């Protein structure tokens, strides 16, 4: 149980609803900021404005998966207000106060350091990333069906990166009958791709490999699908970038060439917010419990 634990949740999307339900069931005290358009009532949760929160009693601050932008703003689908976490608020928090966020920015890092708040990056955790890879792969399949005029079965699919998400995507498309090619830099990952039964290739051969590809799925958060690479893609190819912003694709050139290309970070929250929210809720409840015991 989290009785007596004061959690401030600032902004977010439908995934936050599952977190609220979980923490409410565990008897946490929850202050909701940026949820004025939310009609649901949760036991132990109250809607508040940032200046009205008693920051000296706050044990944890929960930010959305997208975190806080470098201009200090926090997005919320349940509010039309601009939500901004100020240094003055953090400076009032106890020494044990922890900020939980999906990703971080330089601004958040500086604010937390000055206030001596610890930051926990949820999307850096293996358990969260692996669980999230399931709705991500399903979302990639959905988008591939929507934006191509051919079946996935027998399609030539290139998956760039074989990390926690790339592996699930490669396995999923392979199971659907696609001819899957996996690009990676590390020789160990190329060996793993071979073991999975897909065709490995080094990223140095990216330009040559993508010449006959129907679908490109990028998971690498670095600009690797450059104009030189895109120039060799078939005109019908669909490029799906799942990497965090700004992605790994030269979208300006893709548009110039008339290629269909999409940047869709945060796919789990788009296609399966309830499942994605439960994943975060379970991990967060465990982390908060560990925090209260330390």
Q: Which two tokens stand for residue 166?
A: 């790339």
In this structure, the answer to whether residues 148 and 184 fall within a common structural domain is yes
In a domain, 268, yes or no: no
The mean pLDDT of 196-200, rounded to a whole number, is 97
Q: Which residue has the higher pLDDT, 293 or 90?
A: 90
In this structure, the answer to whether residues 189 and 207 fall within a common structural domain is yes
In this structure, the answer to whether residues 41 and 135 fall within a common structural domain is no
In a domain, 174, yes or no: yes
In this structure, the answer to whether residues 242 and 281 fall within a common structural domain is no
pLDDT at position 13 is: 92
In a domain, 250, yes or no: yes
In this structure, the answer to whether residues 157 and 242 fall within a common structural domain is yes
pLDDT at position 244 is: 83
CATH number at residue 50: 3.40.50.720
pLDDT at position 43 is: 81
Q: Which two tokens stand for residue 146?
A: 């929507």
- CA–chain centroid gap for 48, Å, is 26
Q: Which domain holds residue 233?
A: 128-263
In a domain, 283, yes or no: yes
pLDDT at position 71 is: 86
In a domain, 253, yes or no: yes
Q: How many domains does the chain have?
A: 2
In this structure, the answer to whether residues 27 and 59 fall within a common structural domain is yes
208 pLDDT exceeds 80? yes
For residue range 242-274, list pLDDT tens digits in order: 998 889 999 999 999 999 999 998 899 999 999
Residue 172: which pLDDT band, with cuts at 50, 70 and 90? very high
In this structure, the answer to whether residues 67 and 139 fall within a common structural domain is no
pLDDT at position 230 is: 97
In a domain, 117, yes or no: yes
In this structure, the answer to whether residues 207 and 169 fall within a common structural domain is yes
In a domain, 164, yes or no: yes
In this structure, the answer to whether residues 118 and 16 fall within a common structural domain is yes
39 pLDDT exceeds 90? no
In this structure, the answer to whether residues 17 and 117 fall within a common structural domain is yes
Length of the chain: 294
Q: What percent of the chain has pLDDT over 90?
A: 88
For residue range 135-166, list pLDDT tens digits in order: 999 999 999 999 999 999 999 999 999 999 99
Residue 190: which pLDDT band, with cuts at 50, 70 and 90? very high
In a domain, 24, yes or no: yes
The mean pLDDT of 93-112, rounded to a whole number, is 93
In this structure, the answer to whether residues 219 and 120 fall within a common structural domain is no
In this structure, the answer to whether residues 49 and 100 fall within a common structural domain is yes
Residue 70: which pLDDT band, with cuts at 50, 70 and 90? confident
């Amino acid at each position: 149980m989290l009785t007596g634990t004061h959690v401030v949740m600032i902004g977010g999307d439908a995934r936050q609803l599952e977190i609220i339900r979980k923490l409410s069931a565990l008897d946490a005290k929850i202050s909701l900021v940026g949820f004025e358009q939310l009609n649901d009532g949760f036991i132990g949760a109250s809607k508040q404005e940032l200046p009205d929160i008693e920051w000296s009693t706050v044990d944890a601050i929960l930010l959305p998966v997208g975190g806080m932008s470098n201009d200090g703003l926090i997005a919320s689908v349940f509010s039309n207000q601009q939500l901004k976490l100020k240094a003055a608020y953090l400076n009032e928090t106890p020494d044990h106060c922890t900020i939980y966020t999906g990703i971080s920015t330089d601004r958040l890092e500086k604010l937390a350091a000055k206030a001596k708040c610890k930051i926990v990056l949820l999307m850096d955790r293996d358990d969260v990333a692996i669980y999230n890879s399931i709705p991500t792969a399903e979302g990639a399949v959905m988008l591939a069906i929507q934006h191509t005029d051919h079946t996935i079965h027998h399609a030539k699919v290139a998956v760039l990166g074989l990390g926690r998400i790339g592996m699930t995507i490669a396995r999923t498309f392979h199971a659907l009958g696609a001819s899957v090619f996996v690009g990676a830099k590390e020789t160990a990952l190329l060996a793993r791709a071979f073991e999975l039964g897909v065709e490995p290739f080094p990223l140095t051969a990216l330009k040559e490999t993508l010449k006959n590809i129907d679908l490109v799925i990028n998971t690498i958060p670095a600009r690797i699908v450059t104009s030189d690479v895109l120039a060799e893609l078939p005109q019908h190819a669909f490029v799906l970038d799942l990497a965090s912003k700004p992605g790994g694709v030269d979208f300006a050139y893709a548009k110039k060439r008339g290629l269909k290309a999409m940047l869709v970070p945060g796919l789990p929250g788009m296609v399966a917010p309830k499942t994605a929210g439960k994943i975060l809720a379970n991990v967060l409840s465990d982390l908060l419990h560990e925090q209260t015991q330390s």
